[in-house]
Structure 1
Amino acid sequence: MSLRVGWNFGSTAEDECQDAVMQEPPCWTATSAVLKAGRELSSWLLSNLSPPSSPLVSSFFCKDPFASRQSPNPSCLSQPAASHTPYPPPTPSLISFLPQELLEEIFREYLHGPTSTSPSPSNPLTGSFRRILAATGTKTTPFTLAHVCSSWRDIVMSNPLLWAKLCALRPEPQDIPVFEFWLSRSSPYPLDLTIVEGRGNQKADLNDTTCQILLSASAHSPRWKAISLQLGRDLEALFVTPSGPTSLQLPSLRGFRLDLVDWSTEGSQCMSRMLSKGPELQSAAWGSACQIPCFFSDTPWAGLHTIQIGHVNLSDLLQILHVATALHTLFIDYLQVDCSVPSPLTGTTYRIELPSLSSLTLLRYDSLVPLFDSLRVPSLSSLALKFGMGSSLAYDAGWRSLAGLVHHSSCRITSLTWSDDLHPEQQFLGKIDDTYASIFFHLHDLRIESPVGKKTVETFSPLGGQCHNLRALRTFELRDCTAEYDSVLAIIACSHLDWVDIKLRDEAGMCRHVGLPQRSASLVS
């Protein structure tokens, strides 16, 4: 299959489907005497020319031979030069001298590198290329790079790795040929695939476009390396019926993410079991819309390195952690804890040991005591608590439980992300001072996301009375600070900090970022 990319970006939506799948330019063969003579003359001329010394000769070396340009008039070549000053020769582009391997790496970083979280209004992509792209937020596609010149087109079309990341963002019917062409170009490389269902109607009828996209993608399931699906309830029947794509072959799948909106528990579990069959699976994520996971034995929990769960109750989580012994990273959006029901391990000395768990992130919860009292995590170094210690009733008990977790695990907390909108900053600062020796002796990175004021700045500045406690601190970040600018400068002057990022907010709502190193203050709205 080949392509003449829709180079006319002003084409209508109806033309995009026709522009997407085209033929390669024919391979011409010099059969006539004129063509043969011209080819021989060109070969002789280019092989005997010295380095560019005139505008005419320079054009042969500096311009893309396939670029459109107006041919000079042969009758003018023998005439004497005009009296006016000739135009300077074209300046060669340095990028044209780069090796192909380096260009391929540049293209890959440009296409697959970090992007914004959502497409901006200034996104230059149009038509199908706004919906069929490498990732959400990207500003270019392989099609755009292939439009620059013939040499770039050859590199893009001959390198499957540039096509190995694909996102279908609310696709429309005319996007299907572009999606299928992209899939074919990515072969045989492992595929990183994201499919986000388009907005359905109120009758919740089957979305035929997304259905066709899923069926086309399932034909390439042996190449799936990572899959992310955000699907509505109308597509649940596609996976639970015998005629659906239930026999997926997933020998290369290493991670999946499911955001199944309004799916039944049975449908969600069916999809999870289907994707959990991959022998190389290491990462599994369920969005907050999924009413799972509940524990089921046919999921290879023991081999997972990363688990992200949108909503889970404590009893199901403990069952999962009991067998997930290879876990490195755990991320939970909402941990449901029934404080009236004691933890299954309360009152016992047994704790679930997770020898490799190094990063723990919790977004929302009522109490952390039952979880912390049930674990032993000797490798834990990064801790993110986005809801403080939970409710006011569990605040002091949560700090004691965290200190106990660090003590009986013999772990070192080097990175802390903290957010607490329920309690004043003075209460948090007091706990930092009280628990310094037992919890934060090795603290290296500190990020505070909840609103703080002058007191926090003074605490961690050279003028503060508690700064001497955090001798290991190297990076410091405040995301919502109302302190005065002069107070913040004291932190910038603190020589032992390697990196500082503070977002100051005044009464008018204007924000000023102050950072270190080599970052000047700037105003943003």
Structure 2
Amino acid sequence: MDHISEEKTEVPSSGNLSTPIVSLAPELLCSIFSHCVSNDQRKDAHSRDSIRCLFRAPLLLGRVCSRWRDVSISSPELWSSFAVGDDRGRPPDADLAKDLKATKHWISRSGSRPLSIRISYKLPRTYETMVRPILESLVSQSWRWKNVTLDVPSEFEAIIVAPFRNQILPQLVEFDSISKTPGSGEFILSSAPRLRVLSRIGPIDFSGGVHGIKQIRMDYDHTRNSRPSLDDLFSCFTHCPLLEDLFIFIYTDDEWRTRLPDELPSIIELSHLTHLYLYCMSGIDPCRLFDRLYLPALVSLNLHMWSSNASDPEWRQIQTMLAHSRPPLQTLAFSLLPMSERTMIGCLSYVPTLTSFHVYGTNLTDSILGSLTVDEADTNASKNLCPLLERIEFEDAFGGGKCHFSEHAMTRMIISRRKFAKNTPGTGMALKWIKASFQFDRIRSNPDIAECLNNGLRLVYCT
């Protein structure tokens, strides 16, 4: 092991040590060593030269005594999780040569164990000839990949994703490309049948049948041909029935990519989906999809439109989806959506479990405050919307929708929910946070509002 380190280290004989641990069986010693190896090593963003660092296991273990060295060398599981590269600057050429040597050493020591790897090279293209052999040595073991975290320029990413085009990755469970540059290369999901977590910039090929993936983050880049489309969203919904968490940014200016297929299933059920984050550019209309979606497990829904304008059709089908699904929704966020206040209130009527509600850039009036005001005459609380609501944010958008609230409506809403929570313990919750484009100083002197503030309510003004 010494030949891959920066310095030669003398290893003492195990006979010089009298501690009880030296008498342990090799199998037990290996098990103890396995717990010493950090499971998060591959995710350590500052693990400079971790595969060559003398102060990390298993290299550190091998410096204690000859017996520990023998056990660590003969334990492939200790070598199956490692980080390659450096994300803090441009390494000298000599470091890249050492990285290649160390990478081959760790691959050899890891035997046939599944690999968990972090690859980080923030280098210009001029280093490609030196980085390529390192990446190719890792790609040669793609059949063993279990977890891969990738932070490299697109030129280097193309080398790593090549197996997704023409190979099978039988053990891959998680692939996370956190590169800020546009991804390159075709990404065929069916090439990794056990993949459960995927994050990358650019589109994904969902063809090839049903996939068992559970988490997807599909961001966009600034190239014309690498932007997720509405059709990608449709394919994701229909090919990934076990999906639990989806983040997708649909950004396209190609008219054909803003449309859905003419024929859609009558119902698109995703019974496991709990978190949905959808970001769209103006002109993209997913309403036909939402009209068919059945999401009975949804806990968090975040919908955001960039550069919305008056010509965008209203997203009324969000209310339809919530009415059909009746999910246990806790968090709801609408940002710059083409949605009326009336439709928004309709959405709230189907999510009694809601605890957090955020609206940005929609024209709001006392009507929505009135809908959230508890009717004291309704003893069964059957008409009260969102009794568990704790956090509200109503924000104006620059050049967009504005909030116009009266002191009376705001005061009445806050006090009614406090009284409801006090009189019906376990059924209702008092508000804890309100952020709005509203001058709260005008109501702070109200004795009931002051009591709410004393009990922990925070009122935050935003421009």
Does TM-score exceed 0.5, indicating one fold? yes
> Could you tell me whether the CA contact under 8 Å between 1:189 and 1:223 is conserved in 2?
yes
1:107 aligns with 2:36: yes
- Say if 1:253 and 1:278, in contact at 8 Å, map to a contact too: yes
Query: Any conservation in 2 of the 1:176–1:213 contact (CA below 8 Å)?
Result: yes
Q: Which residue of structure 2 aligns with residue 253 of structure 1? A: 172
Counting matched residue pairs gives 391
- Superposed CA offset, 1:118-161 (max 9, x none): 54xxxxx6x624x979xxxxxx8436864995599668767655
Q: Secondary structure, in 3 states, of the residue corresponding to 2:83?
A: strand
Distance 1:349 1:187, change over 3 A: closer
For 1:278, which of 162, 178, 192 is the aligned residue? 192
Alpha-carbon spacing, 1:162–1:351, altered in 2? closer, same or farther (3 Å): same
Alignment partners' CA distance in 2, 1:309 and 1:441: 31
Instruction: Check conservation: 1:363, 1:387, Cα contact below 8 A.
Output: yes
Secondary structure of 2:192's aligned partner: coil
Residue of 410, 416, 432 corresponding to 1:465: 416
Instruction: Give yes or no for contact 1:413–1:442 (8 Å, CA) kept in 2.
Output: no
Decide which structure has the larger Cα Rg and report it. Answer: 1
> What is the CA distance between 1:406 and its match in structure 2?
1.0
Q: 1 CA distance for matches of 2:245 and 2:296?
A: 11
Mapped contact 2:170–2:194 kept (Cα < 8 A): yes
- Report the 3-state secondary structure (helix = DSSP H, G, I; strand = E; otherwise coil) of the residue aligned with 2:304: coil
What is the CA deviation profile of residues 373-410 of structure 1, one whole-angstrom value per residue up to 9, with x for unaligned ones? Answer: 34422333222426379836499944x43222111123
1:304 counterpart residue number: 213
Structure 2: gaps (5+ residues): 23-27, 221-227, 334-356, 375-380, 398-402
AA paired with 2:268?
I
Map of 2:272 onto structure 1 = 356
**Aligned with 1:286: secondary structure?**
strand
TM-score by length of 2: 0.60
Question: Does the aligned pair in 2 maintain the 1:460–1:466 contact within 8 Å?
Answer: no
Q: Which amino acid aligns with 2:102?
A: V
- Structure 1 portions without partners, runs of 5+: 7-15, 30-38, 43-59, 66-98, 120-124, 134-139, 495-499, 508-525
Contact in 1 for aligned 2:175/2:199 (Cα 8 Å): yes
Task: Classify 1:309/1:159 alpha carbon distance in 2 versus 1 (closer, same or farther; 3 Å).
Answer: same
**Aligned CA distance change for structure 1 residues 491 and 249 (closer, same or farther; 3 Å):** farther
CA change 1:450–1:285 in 2 (3 A) is farther
1:352–1:374 contact (8 Å) kept in structure 2: no
CA distance in 1 between partners of 2:431 and 2:112 (Å): 43
For normalisation by structure 1, the TM-score amounts to 0.54
- Following superposition, the deviation at residue 221 of structure 1 comes to 2.0
1:111/1:141 contact within 8 Å kept: no
Secondary structure at the counterpart of residue 138 of structure 2:
helix
Which aligned pairs between 1:445-456 and structure 2 lie closer than 5 A? none
Query: Do the aligned partners of residues 232 and 321 (structure 1) sit closer, same or farther apart at CA in structure 2, a change above 3 Å counting?
Result: same
How far apart, in 1, do the equivalents of 2:104 and 2:451 lie?
55
- How far apart are the structure 2 equivalents of 1:480 and 1:423? 12
Contact 1:205/1:234, CA 8 A, preserved across alignment: no
Task: Return closer, same or farther for 1:338/1:247 CA change in 2, 3 Å cut-off.
Answer: closer
1:18-57 equivalence runs, <5 A: 19=7, 25=11
1:356-505 to structure 2, matched below 5 A, reads: 356-366=272-282, 370=287, 373-385=290-302, 387=304, 391=308, 393=310, 397-398=314-315, 400-416=316-332, 421-423=360-362, 430=369, 433=372, 441=386, 464-466=415-417, 468=420, 471=427, 490=452, 493=455
Give the C-alpha shift of residue 317 in structure 1.
Answer: 1.8
SS at match of 2:248: strand
Of 170, 174, 190 in structure 1, the residue corresponding to residue 114 of structure 2 is 190
SS of aligned partner of 2:318 = helix
Identity across aligned pairs (percent)? 16
